[in-house]
Chains A and B, each alone.
Chain A
Amino acid sequence: MLESFVSGRAPVLIEFQSVSKQFGQNLVLRSVDFQLRAGEVHALVGENGAGKSTCLGMMYGLLQPDKGQVTISGNRVKIENPAHAQSLGVSCVFQELSLAGAMSVAENIFAGRMPSHFGIVDYPKLYQQAEALLEEFGLHIDVTMPVDRLPVSLRQIVEIVKAMSLDVKILLLDEPTSALTPDEVQMLFKILRKLTARGIGIIYVCHHISEIFAIADRITVLRDGQQISTSNIAETSSKHVVSQMVGGNIPQLTDRTNNTIGPVVLQAKGMTAKGVFEGINLELHKGEIVGLAGLLGSGRSQIAQALCGLEKSWTGELRVDGKSVKYKSLLQAIDDGFGYVPEERKTEGLFLDFSIRDNVVAANLCQYSQLGFLKRHLMASSAAKAINDFDVKTASQEIPIRALSGGNQQKVMLAKWLQKSPKILIIEEPTKGVDVGAKFQIHAELRKQATKGMTILVVSSDFAELATLSDRILVVREGQIAGEIGASDATEDSILNLASVAVPHAVNAI
């Protein structure tokens, strides 16, 4: 490990000394040495299955190391469970939000620790405390509001504030920006900087390399459970980090050169849903990938959902293959050749306790049945094909999909629809919370399908992704299409400029 740390004189908060972890006979973490110092943001990066989650799990008491030592502030500890971790000053914000939607912001922040007298909650005091805490971060949110009325980005912030309401010295963040737009990411970074200024150490797990270079002080790369490097962020480069993550060879970007655009398959004229989007005109051609960019709340998702019958209350005209249509449900659109891959794979896309095979066949049971009976061998071969095509890392198709990493889950969810070869595929946030390798594979597969003639509409808030993936990008701003950017002009910045002339609501909070 490097000797000259930027924060070299700051005290060590948590330390791993040759920590190993084994599941069965397999080493998932091999002798990792790791230090988090006070006041630093320490990024932990690696492919799916590299051991990041295992590291976080051990710091938060979800897993115990088999070998090696964990020390917190110099004292050797055995972290029994999350409650114990919290009492040691470790707090964790997971990728999946753990807030109770119907409860107020204040109640969520102080869940389980609400001020009370003889068992009666002292609401005025609770609200006051919550407001004071949010104030510290420069946030002005109505603390009596139910959490599910907040935009996702603010929920993420509330989650972090909730973690900070404990006496925290070490904050673990697992993919904190996966639901955030670029502006919101900046807001989060400001908050993180306020925390590090107080001497709090932050472990930052993230797939967005550019983000890591914007916020982290040090970076540790893991691969296959091994620690590849720990370096000061100033002394490394994103290219170097990516090559360390994937083990040398960086995958090629998707090639857009040899695609041919066919006739118009979908045409929208003046589609309007009051208060959501207005006067939407767009055309999708056979064999092209069109990006639909926009900030959270811009109406980008609703427009895409209106095309495939999920959003029903709109006026205007929609033509598919020249035929005027108005779908009453997603089912009708699917019958007409649509496919729809939702944004939230865990709550909307997958059957978590079901096997990979069952998840692959879910959208298309007809294809696997004869005389109304499902044929196991048809389902099995289809699942095998999906696993092979997408290089899903799994030992068997019988494994419940819950056990797979996010990237592999995402691949299965996409495979489910590609098996059906829809004419028009609408896909939301195709690589949300997915690592670099899986992202390249998903992009390549989408490009392959487009070359074969599929029309693909990609809705994403990851503008860098849209810039590399799409043939052209439609930018939505406040419910209207603000403009179109061709592949050659598309960059993260050019899209962002078009998307964010007006200040989005979420940013008002800061």
Chain B
Amino acid sequence: MSTTVSNPKTNAKFNQLGSMAKGNFIQRIVRTREITLLCVIIAIIVVMSFASPYFLSLNNFRAIAIGMAPTAIIVIGMAILLASGGFDLSVGSVMALSSTLVALLLIAGVSIPIAVFAGILLGGVTGLINGVLITSVGINPLVATLGTMSIARGIALILTEGFSISNLPKAFGYVGRADILGIPLLVIIALGLVLVFDLLVRHGRFFRQIYFIGANEKAAMLSGIAVNRVRIVAYVLTGMLAALAGVLLASRLMSGTPTAGNALELQVLAAAVIGGASLRGGEGTILGAFLGVVFVALINNSMTMLAISIYWQVVVTGAVLIAAVTLDMLVLSRTNKTNF
């Protein structure tokens, strides 16, 4: 049947599109966000090494790595949600709530494993609430997670009356403060999670479904993908990762802080988008989002090193976000020109 109307000449247009899709070497590099970001990150490191005598030191890099570890863990969930066409504003609050809950339980004499488990479970439950509100009830993700963001933060403040909970048992601080082969355990955990989830999201059957949902939810449903189930799992996972970040933060600081992670959700969103995710859904990788976090952390550190006001750092983060998305739009409009 296939030979009756086939004509090699009609393939001409598609051959051309095929070569476009592959692109030449430079185009391919530019289109892979991870590689561009990595180049920019290396460039910043090189420039800063000359600009500031304190930048290129082990201590500074340790500080950067430890500082961004919780964000790196949270950005995993955010990148998955963005790929599925959703997002979660409650991550910062959930981090704070889990850190205070763990601290309160430990103070009350609960054993460390149970307290940690409870903290992470709390994140899972918040994620489940978000997921159900968004999928089954049908509330817009912005509204639903804005609500839970506020509620989680409020509960953390009520539980602690606004104060940090310190005097935690010494053993609890081990994970947050230990080094393995000179590398902070906190950083190893964050990197490990990033790598595992990057692999899962690239090749795992379950996580691959997220991209289909993000690209075209209706088509995904009609293709037999359990759209709601997958989306709820993504929110639960994001909540659990945020809670884990909260537990690790409490371990590092040896206190539960109800005000931790304020405005973190927006930083995480910005980092994920800089790393190649999009609010349209259907794209982005964990590695890209992680590099987005590294990039933002480096920019902030560099400005501190150059003694630029902390207030300017906020401005620069915003400007970088807009620049990254603008670049995206320019690349997009160029590649789409031939097919209208």
What is the interface of chain A, defined by CB distance below 8 A to chain B? Answer: 23-28, 47-50, 57, 62-63, 224-225, 246-247, 249, 251-252, 310, 330-331, 334, 340, 342, 347-355, 358, 362-366, 368-369, 372-374, 376, 388-391, 393-396, 398-400, 402-404, 416, 436-437, 440-441, 444-445, 448
Interface string of B1-21 (1 = CB under 8 A from A): 111111101111111111111
Cβ distance B97 to chain A, nearest Cβ, rounded Å: 31
Chain A residue numbers with a CB within 8 Å of B306 are: none
Note all chain A residues with C-beta closer than 8 A to B221: 330
- Chosen A-B contacts, 8 in total, with CB atoms closer than 8 Å, are A25-B16, A47-B10, A63-B340, A330-B221, A398-B21, A399-B18, A402-B339, A403-B338
Whether A444 contacts B226 in the complex (CB less than 8 A), given A352-B215, A373-B203, A393-B14, comes out as no
Identify the closest chain A residue to B206 (Cβ).
Answer: A372
Q: Do A24 and B7 touch across chains, with their CB atoms under 8 A apart?
A: no
Given A396-B18, A396-B22: A391 in contact with B6 (beta carbons within 8 A):
yes
Residue from A249, A353, A373 within 8 A of B282 (CB atoms): A353
Q: When chains A and B are docked, how far (Å) is the Cα of A376 from the Cα of B205?
A: 11
> Are A362 and B206 in contact, CB atoms less than 8 angstroms apart?
no
A49 with B14: CB separation less than 8 A: yes
Partner of A47, one of B5, B12, B21, B215: B5
Determine if A24 and B22 form an interchain contact, defined as CB atoms under 8 angstroms apart.
Answer: no
Contact of A23 among B211, B224, B338 (CB under 8 A): B338
In the complex, what residues of A have CB within 8 A of residue B11's CB? 393-395
Please indicate the chain B residues that have their CB under 8 angstroms from the CB of A351 in the complex: 212, 215-216, 219-220, 282
B224 touching A249 by the CB < 8 A rule? no
Chain B positions within 8 Å of A334 at CB level: 224
Can you name the residue of chain B whose Cβ is closest to the Cβ of A413? Answer: B219
Q: How far is the CA of A49 from the CA of B221 in the complex (A)?
A: 31
- Contact pick for A373, options B3, B18, B205, B209, CB 8 Å: B205
Q: Is the CB of B5 within 8 A of A365?
A: no
CA distance A54 to B186 in the complex (A): 57
B57 at the interface (CB under 8 A from A): no
Nearest A-chain residue to B17, judged by Cβ: A403
Evaluate contact between B9 and A224: CB separation under 8 angstroms.
yes
- CB pair B222 A349 closer than 8 Å: yes
Check A349/B219 contact, CB under 8 A, given A27-B12, A393-B10, A394-B18.
yes
B225, CB-defined interface residue at 8 Å: yes
B283: chain A residues at CB < 8 Å are 353
**Chain A residues, CB < 8 A from B18:** 394-396, 398-399
* CB closest residue in chain A, given B16: A24
Min distance, Cβ B32 to any Cβ of chain A, angstroms: 14
Chain A residues with Cβ under 8 A from B3's Cβ? Answer: 391
Q: How far is the CB of B196 from chain A (nearest CB, A)?
A: 12
Q: Do A362 and B15 have beta carbons less than 8 Å apart?
A: no
* B208 to chain A: closest residue by CB: A374
Q: Chain A nearest CB: distance from B91 CB in Å?
A: 26
A365 and B16 within 8 A (CB): no
A444: B residues at CB distance < 8 A:
1
User: When the two chains form their complex, are residues A23 and B13 in contact, meaning their CB atoms are under 8 A apart?
Assistant: yes
- Out of A247, A330, A354, A391, name the residue touching B215 (CB < 8 Å): A354
CB distance from B9 to the nearest CB of A (A): 4
Contact A391 B2 (CB under 8 A): yes
Tell me if B192 counts as interface (CB < 8 A to partner A). Answer: no
Complex CA–CA separation, A27 to B13 (angstroms): 8
| A400 in complex: contacting residue of B21, B218, B223, CB < 8 Å | B21
User: In the complex, what residue of chain A is closest to B2 when comparing beta carbons?
Assistant: A391
B interface residue count range (under 10 / 10 to 19 / 20 to 34 / 35 or more): 35 or more
Q: Smallest CB–CB gap between B279 and chain A, Å?
A: 15
What B residues does A47 contact at CB under 8 A? 5, 10
**How far is it, in angstroms, between the C-alpha of A437 and the C-alpha of B208 when the chains are bound?**
34
A395 touches which one: B4, B15, B220, B282 (CB < 8 A)? B15
Separation of A395 and B12 alpha carbons in the complex (Å): 8
Question: Which of A28, A399, A402 meets B12, CB within 8 Å?
Answer: A28
Nearest A residue to B332 via CB reads A353
- Nearest CB to that of B216 among chain A residues? A351
Q: Which of B1, B13, B216 has the most CB of A within 10 A?
A: B13
Interface residues, chain B, CB within 8 Å of chain A?
1-7, 9-22, 203-206, 208-209, 211-212, 215-216, 218-226, 282-283, 338-340
Contact call B10/A224, Cβ cutoff below 8 A: yes
Contact A416 B205 (CB under 8 A): no
Do A28 and B204 form a contact, CB below 8 Å, given A347-B218, A353-B282, A388-B2?
no
Interface core residue of A334, A351, A368, A404 (most chain B CB under 10 Å): A351
Contact flag A362-B223 (CB < 8 Å), given A49-B10, A389-B2: yes
Evaluate contact between B215 and A26: CB separation under 8 angstroms: no
Cβ-closest chain B residue relative to A441 = B1
Give, as a whole number of angstroms, the nearest-CB distance from B119 to chain A: 27
Residues B340 and A57 in contact, CB atoms below 8 Å apart: yes
The answer on a CB contact under 8 Å between B206 and A395 is no
List chain A residues, Cβ under 8 A from B13.
Answer: 23, 26, 28, 49
Cα-based distance from A49 to B5 in the complex (angstroms):
13
Given A47-B10, A246-B5, A391-B2: A374 and B17 within 8 A (CB)? no
- A331 to B223, alpha carbons, bound, how many Å? 9
Known: A24-B19, A334-B224, A391-B2. A366 touches B205 (CB 8 A): yes
Residues of B within 8 A of A50 (CB): 10
| Extra contacts besides A63-B340, A331-B226, A362-B212 (11): CB < 8 Å | A49-B10, A334-B224, A347-B216, A354-B212, A362-B219, A373-B204, A374-B205, A388-B2, A391-B2, A399-B18, A440-B4
A246 CA to B3 CA, complexed, in Å: 12
Nearest B residue to A49 via CB reads B10
Q: Is B224 a contact partner of A330 (Cβ separation < 8 A)?
A: yes
B218 contacts A251, C-beta separation under 8 Å: no
* Shortest distance between the CB of B14 and any CB in chain A (Å): 5
Cα–Cα distance between A39 and B11 once the two chains are bound (Å): 36
Nearest neighbor of B15 in chain A, beta-carbon distance:
A395
Interface centre among A331, A403, A440 (most CB of B within 10 A): A403
Q: Is the CB of A342 within 8 A of B222?
A: yes
Query: Which residues in B have their C-beta under 8 angstroms from that of A393?
Result: 6, 10-11, 14
CB–CB B205/A247 < 8 A: no
Cα–Cα, bound, A340→B16 (Å):
33
- Report B-chain residues with C-beta under 8 Å of the C-beta of A400: 21
For B15, B208, B209, B223, the residue with the greatest tally of chain A CB atoms inside 10 Å of its CB is B223
Closest B residue, CB atoms, query A46 = B10
Residue in A330, A365, A390 with the greatest tally of chain B CB atoms within 10 Å: A365
The answer to whether residues A362 and B225 also contact, given A347-B218, A348-B218 and a CB cut-off of 8 A, is: yes
Nearest first, the 7 closest Cβ-Cβ pairs linking A and B are: A395-B18, A437-B5, A391-B2, A369-B205, A26-B12, A24-B16, A351-B215
Q: How far is the CB of A147 from chain B (nearest CB, A)?
A: 19
